[in-house]
Structure 1
Amino acid sequence: MSAIFKLISSNDWEDAKITGVIPKTEIDLKAGGYHVYQMDDLEKLCKLSFAQNDYPIALELEPSSLISQLTWHQPNQDRAWKEGIIKSVDIYADLVMNIYSFEWGDTDGETWCKIVGE
């Protein structure tokens, strides 16, 4: 079973540690479930979805309890990454196995982010 990751801001993670529930983002609410991704797409999605001052992090989720609620959508002409939707009311913070941060930089005017802690 491959790893699944949820991208959120550091502030949302701090809230999740208090409430015990990972908050849904705006796109999660629109989709009716949590968006999750695979490791290979995290850096690209971090750059597309967050600003550096959001301090985004990637939460590696324990997949066995979520797999029955997970549907993967393959890349298409509008989305160059594999995207999963977990149709769950809540995902609990205790399902987080690992937390990864991102290093940001700029090379020749091109902003990039790199996952830290693999």
Structure 2
Amino acid sequence: MSAIFKLISSNEWEDAKITGVLPKNEIDLKAGGYHVYQFDDLEKLCKLAFTHDDYPIALELEPSSLISQLTWHQPNQDRAWKEGLIKSEDIYADLVMNIYSFEWGDTNGETWCKIIGE
């Protein structure tokens, strides 16, 4: 079973630790679930969806309790990454197994981000 990840900001994670529930962004709300991703796409998605000042993190979710609600969508011409949708009202913070942060940099005017461990 592949690992699944949710990208959120550090501030959203702090709130989730208090409420016990992971936040949904506008795209999640519109889709009626939580968008999740695979490890290999996290750096690309982080760069697209966040800035360094957002302090994004990747939450690795315990997959066995979510797999029945998860549908994967393959990459296409509009989206160069595999995207999952978990059709769930809530995902509880206690399903987070690991937390990864990102290192940001700039090489020749090109911003990059690299995933680093917990």
TM bucket (normalised to shorter chain) is over 0.9
What is the RMSD of the two structures over their aligned residues, measured on CA atoms? 0.8
> What TM-score do you get using the length of structure 2 for normalisation?
0.99
> What TM-score do you get using the length of structure 1 for normalisation?
0.99
- 1:12-70 per-residue CA deviation (whole Å, 9 max, x = no partner) reads 00000000000101110111110000000000000000011000000000000000000
Alignment of 1:87-102 (within 5 A): 87-102=87-102
* 2:72 match: 72
Q: Which amino acid aligns with 1:56?
A: P
* 1:47 match: 47
Identical positions, percent = 90
How many residues get paired?
A: 118
* 2:6 match: 6
- The yes-or-no answer on 1:58 pairing with 2:37 is no
Q: Report the Cα offset of residue 97 of structure 1.
A: 0.1
- Superposition misfits of 4+ residues, deviation over 4 angstroms: none
Structure 1 counterpart SS, 2:88: coil
Distance in 1 of aligned mates of 2:55 and 2:106: 16
Distance in 1 of aligned mates of 2:3 and 2:26: 23
